[in-house]
Amino acid sequence: MKKLTAFVLISGFALSSFGQGAKKIAIIPEPVEITETAGTFTLSNSVIITGTSKAGVVPVANYLKKKLTTATSVTITEKANTAVYTIKLLLNSTPETVIGKEGYHLTVSAKGILISANEPVGLFYGVQTLLQLFPKEIESATVVAKTWTLPYVKITDYPRFEWRGLMFDVARHFFTKEDVKQYIDNMVRYKFNLLHLHLTDDEGWRIQIKSLPKLTEIGAYNVKKVGYFGTFAPPTPDEPRNYGGFYTQDDIRELVKYAQERFVNILPEIDVPGHSLAAVSAYPELSCTPGAENYHVRSGEVIMDWSVRPPKALVDNTLCPANEKVYEFLDKVLTEVAPLFPFPYIHMGGDECPKNFWEQSDAIKALMVKENLKTMEEVQSYFEKRLEKIVESKGKKFMGWDEILEGGLAPDAAVMSWRGMKGGADAAKMHHDVVMSPTDFAYLDYMQGDVAIEPRIYATLRLSKAYAFEPVPDSVDDKYIKGGQANLWTEQVYNMRHAEYMTWPRGFAISESLWSPKARKNWNDFVGRVETHFDRFKVADIKYAPSVYDPIFTASQTADKKVQVFMSTEMQGLDIYYTFDNSFPDNHYPKYTSPVLIPEDAFQLKVITYRGNEPIGRMITIPVTDLNKRAGKK
Ligand code: ACM
């Protein structure tokens, strides 16, 4: 870690340590080194951008120009090289080692704004930081009349990890090409450089494969339902299967180009051998199970029993490892997928593959004898090893979820560790490349606060926990940990507004865990910056979850079998007011100071948080029956 100026340490921490709201300089992710000096730079009406004579700088300059001309009324002149400039984008002629490929220096001074980097991507990240130094109105979609003033500052910055990803599940619910572009637009603000597209699952096959047209004719559509996905009634045969969609290969090329222009790689995931009901519905001969010709793409009905260990499929949603046609199928798929994505890896899933139908299959039994496979995990491992060869035959590297470790890891496989960090740590110890995306820190589909207010799903992952994400486990050589990513599964995410709500602000926390030096992370400081970015998102009309302002509840029983409620907040400096009399609490009601006993006949608890005299959290109502349950009281 570089030395910090005393001024920044003092000002940053003092401003934020009591959660006092928005900060003046509030960069996310926190830069490696930042020195603020007295003074401000004001943009005149005529802005000169220079540096664009060098190849690679023009797209970055254009990106910046578009932002400036959208929100401000300045006129912009590009000059190839000039001593007098407003914004200079300088590509180093001799690379500077400290900042590496993606790093940059940024100076705002009386002379103007200077961003220097070794590569255009570094300039692009310098521009992202620069935009965060502008007043929040720079996020406006229309011109705002105001004085555009920036603080004098000197920043040196570069990432901790090369893999800084977000996964977007476009299979459970389909998101259009324009939605994906919007997702990319938002992720690059926070210096994410990898978009993992989960392209296939039980609920949809989303990428055109010309040699296998039924994958999208049949596999891309199910029956539209709303409510709590996973609990829906099975569709009747006459319900129209017209909900969904897919990307044509031209769409994919357009998305890859759009991403590349923003220095984002797209990692495609084709999830096999489990999660394959859409593929099996299109081509039933890929299943081990007789009767698969009656299968349908899932519309959110129950298809697995998760209550048993290991979970059991009620419908066989797997490809059959004992069937040569499956490998021919995968070869055809990968022949078309590989050239569409320049990124070196292809992710082949491998997660949550139920084995109960394989256990019944004569073909699998014969395969086990022939290949001397002792367990179902070894059957999957046999499949993964053959799959790795197919992936490699297309000039790509093979990656899968950590289940691919079970039964023996394929020789060159990279592992994405999701069931905690252990799979990743084990793979790293075997000298395999690893990306960490553990559920406990990085699952964006999880609730951000209490189930009493958030849309219900399996578990809760609060902002503070996401912020504690540390991708390198103790005792692991960090050279194998390529980085990390957060995953947005979309079973319960039906539209883009909710995708945004689920991604932010936890995406801020993950971006800081992946970009910033470990020693620069500080929760209280971070939360202050988050609030500034909330203000920016309001101007940009990007939805975010305000859950960090809401109270946290736990309940327990006292020795005399009464139930007491404990309340706290993730953020410091908030007050909690509550009622048990069904009226709406405000700051004239009891303030929480210590555990509260539930009055004997109370029906519900209502709670709200305040900062000073202003309500800041959402009104939350919890029935006393729920609190009793939480306390284990029958
Ligand atoms: C996963 O969450 N099933 C990878």
Three-state SS annotation for 35-99: EEEEEEEECCCEEEEECCCCCCHHHHHHHHHHHHHHHCCCEEEEECCCCCCCEEEEECCCCCCCC
Domain membership of residue 7 (yes or no) is no
CA distance 409 to 427: 8
Query: Do residue 587 and residue 535 come from a single domain?
Result: no
The closest residue, in CA terms, to atom 1 on ligand 1 is 351
Q: What is the 383 CA–ligand 1 centroid distance (Å)?
A: 19
Query: Do residue 467 and residue 533 come from a single domain?
Result: yes
Query: Do residue 50 and residue 186 come from a single domain?
Result: no
pLDDT confidence band for 82 (50 / 70 / 90): confident
Domain membership of residue 512 (yes or no) is yes
CATH code for position 182: 3.20.20.80
Query: Do residue 246 and residue 367 come from a single domain?
Result: yes
Query: Do residue 40 and residue 152 come from a single domain?
Result: yes
Q: What is the CA radius of gyration of the chain?
A: 26
Final residue of a structural domain among 100, 128, 157:
157
Query: Do residue 489 and residue 393 come from a single domain?
Result: yes
Domain membership of residue 14 (yes or no) is no
Q: What is the mean pLDDT of residues 387-396?
A: 98
Final residue of a structural domain among 540, 559, 577:
540
The closest residue, in CA terms, to atom 3 on ligand 1 is 351
CA distance 262 to 63: 9
Ligand 1 proximal residues by C-beta, below 6 Å: 351-352, 401, 418
Residue whose pair of structure tokens reads 């006092």 in the numeric block: 20
Q: Residue 3's pLDDT is what?
A: 34
Domain membership of residue 22 (yes or no) is no
Domain membership of residue 27 (yes or no) is no
Q: Residue 14's pLDDT is what?
A: 35
Final residue of a structural domain among 514, 540, 566:
540
Contact 142, 185 (CB under 8 A): no
CA distance 251 to 261: 15
Query: Do residue 97 and residue 219 come from a single domain?
Result: no
Query: Do residue 376 and residue 522 come from a single domain?
Result: yes
Among 489, 490, 491, 492, the mutation site with the greatest number of ligand 1 atoms within 8 A of its Cβ is 489
Domain membership of residue 170 (yes or no) is yes
Q: For the chain, give the mean pLDDT.
A: 95
Residue 263's identity, in one-letter code, is F
352 given a catalytic annotation:
yes
Domain membership of residue 10 (yes or no) is no
Confidence check: pLDDT of 396 > 90: yes
Query: Do residue 151 and residue 174 come from a single domain?
Result: no
Confidence check: pLDDT of 349 > 90: yes
pLDDT confidence band for 23 (50 / 70 / 90): low
Query: Do residue 419 and residue 558 come from a single domain?
Result: no
Q: Residue 209's pLDDT is what?
A: 99
Quick one: CA dihedral 513, 518, 523, 526, positive or negative? negative
Among 401, 441, 445, the mutation site with the greatest number of ligand 1 atoms within 8 A of its Cβ is 401
CATH code for position 38: 3.30.379.10
The number of domains in the chain is: 3
Q: Residue 80's pLDDT is what?
A: 76
- Please count the residues of the chain: 634
Token digits of residue 610: 């305040």
CATH code for position 573: 2.60.40
CA distance 364 to 379: 8
Which candidate in 33, 36, 352, 570 is catalytic? 352
CA angle 51, 100, 152 (to 5 degrees): 55
Query: Do residue 412 and residue 287 come from a single domain?
Result: yes
The closest residue, in CA terms, to atom 2 on ligand 1 is 418
Among 317, 347, 352, the mutation site with the greatest number of ligand 1 atoms within 8 A of its Cβ is 352
Domain membership of residue 575 (yes or no) is yes
Q: What is the 513 CA–ligand 1 centroid distance (Å)?
A: 21
Q: What is the 418 CA–ligand 1 centroid distance (Å)?
A: 6
DSSP string, 503-556: HTTHHHHHHHHHHS-GGG--HHHHHHHHHHHHHHHHHHT-----GGGSEEEEEE
Query: Do residue 525 and residue 562 come from a single domain?
Result: no
Of the candidate ranges 55-64, 356-365, 506-515, the one whose mean pLDDT is the lowest: 55-64
pLDDT confidence band for 52 (50 / 70 / 90): confident
Confidence check: pLDDT of 222 > 70: yes
The domain in which residue 432 lies consists of 163-540
